[in-house]
Structure 1
Amino acid sequence: MSDFPALPGVYKALFLYIEPSITILPAILIWFTPGAAWFHHELIPAPHEHVASIDARTLMAVWQLGNCYLLLGMLSSLVFRAVRDALPDNPAAQEHILGASLLAMVIADATHIIASFICLPDSLKYRPELWNPATHGNISFVVVLLLFRVAWFLGLGRTRYYFGQGSRLSGGRTKET
């Protein structure tokens, strides 16, 4: 048995390595270079728009957004590793804890996609070829993550140990006890 049976193969690669790295990247871009003003202006694609400075309130909001990106990346990276390391012989418990985290992420993904799409100008909503990398990150990449999270819950490409196992857990206990 693998050291992380609740998160095998592509799920392990995506949720333990790829997603945390890509999620932490915006924090670095915001805090260091090219900076908060650049990131703020990239949120809605606008050709030939000059990146101007931003006021102190907007700067604070964008830096706090960077902190949220950092937090999300660290949670999936560090918490998922803690689950793997603390429960190596208990795939049902691994899956139960991962499922709680992934459910929160599913809800956040869906609301993030909706908010990002709604805020796009009508001239861009249905023209992904005009989107910039930030817009694709906020919509396209998050759609991919959402689809993989849903696939994980459906048990696609993996063995299910907790979700989809009825009301019985290991040792004859029920989910209610």
Structure 2
Amino acid sequence: MASQLPPFPRVVFTVLEPISLLAGFFPAVLLPDWFIGEQLPSAASASATSAATMTANSRVVAQQLGNCYGLAFLVAVAVLYSTTEIKVVRNYLIALWIADIGHVAITYLALGHDRAVDVGAWNPMTWGNIGATLFLFLTRTAYLPGLFGPDRSPSGLEKEKKKNKTI
């Protein structure tokens, strides 16, 4: 399926987004105390957050979130690399578009307006939660109405493969 997408969204959705999901999975599962401490930028260093202040409950929530990132990675790979039905891919991307809104909104509410718009004070986690998610959201917003050009049909791909074999 990935070959049916226009080039830019193909790279974003089949390469960059799965990598970003793994970038959320590993630290949440393997380093939950660090992951929790980095969720919101603060005046104090996140590394100053004591592991003693982290509860077993918060660690489980962080690791379960990491597990969700891992699941999202597996679903992305399964959908984007196994189906030839563009309708399935489009519906998948619409679901992610809606989830992007929730992801940014939850982060915005946790930060509060002043910290959310203070881009200079964002830490790498905030850049991922807001910056990267907005990039994915805007890419989906442009892809869905066809602003990157039309998807290629499976029959068009077959013609191209035959053409390349004869050259």
Instruction: Give yes or no for TM over 0.5.
Output: yes
What's the secondary structure of 1:154's corresponding residue?
coil
Greater Cα shift, 115-124 or 56-65: 115-124
Aligned match of 2:29: 31
Q: How does 1:155-174 map to 2 (within 5 A)?
A: 155-160=146-151
Would you say how many aligned residue pairs link Structure 1 and Structure 2?
Answer: 149
Shift of 1:51: 2.3
1:20 aligns to 2:18 (yes or no): yes
Aligned match of 2:128: 137
CA RMSD of aligned residues (A): 1.9
Shift of 1:125: 2.0
1:146 aligns to 2:137 (yes or no): yes
Shift of 1:152: 1.0
Query: Is contact 2:6-2:151 (8 Å) kept?
Result: no
Aligned match of 1:117: 108
Letter in 2 for 1:43: Q
Shift of 1:117: 0.6
Query: Is contact 2:104-2:134 (8 Å) kept?
Result: yes
Distance in 2 separating the partners of 1:3 and 1:127? 37
Aligned match of 1:73: 73
Distance in 1 separating the partners of 2:133 and 2:142? 14
Percent identity between matched residues is 26
Judged with a 3 Å threshold, the aligned counterparts in structure 2 of structure 1 residues 68 and 107 are, in CA distance, closer, same or farther, namely same
Query: Is contact 1:116-1:138 (8 Å) kept?
Result: yes
Shift of 1:102: 0.5
Letter in 2 for 1:61: V
Shift of 1:24: 1.2
Residue ranges of structure 1 left out of the alignment (5+ in a row):
88-93, 163-177
Query: Is contact 2:6-2:149 (8 Å) kept?
Result: yes
Q: Which runs of 4+ in 1 moved over 4 A?
A: none
Aligned match of 2:3: 4
- Within the candidate set 33, 41, 45, 1:45 is matched to 41
Shift of 1:160: 4.8
Query: Is contact 1:17-1:77 (8 Å) kept?
Result: no
* Bigger fraction of residues in helix: 2
Letter in 2 for 1:24: L
Deviations along 1:122-169, one digit per CA (max 9) or x if unpaired, are: 44122011000101100111011001111111101221579xxxxxxx
Letter in 2 for 1:44: L
Greater Cα shift, 49-58 or 11-20: 49-58
Residue ranges of structure 2 left out of the alignment (5+ in a row):
154-167
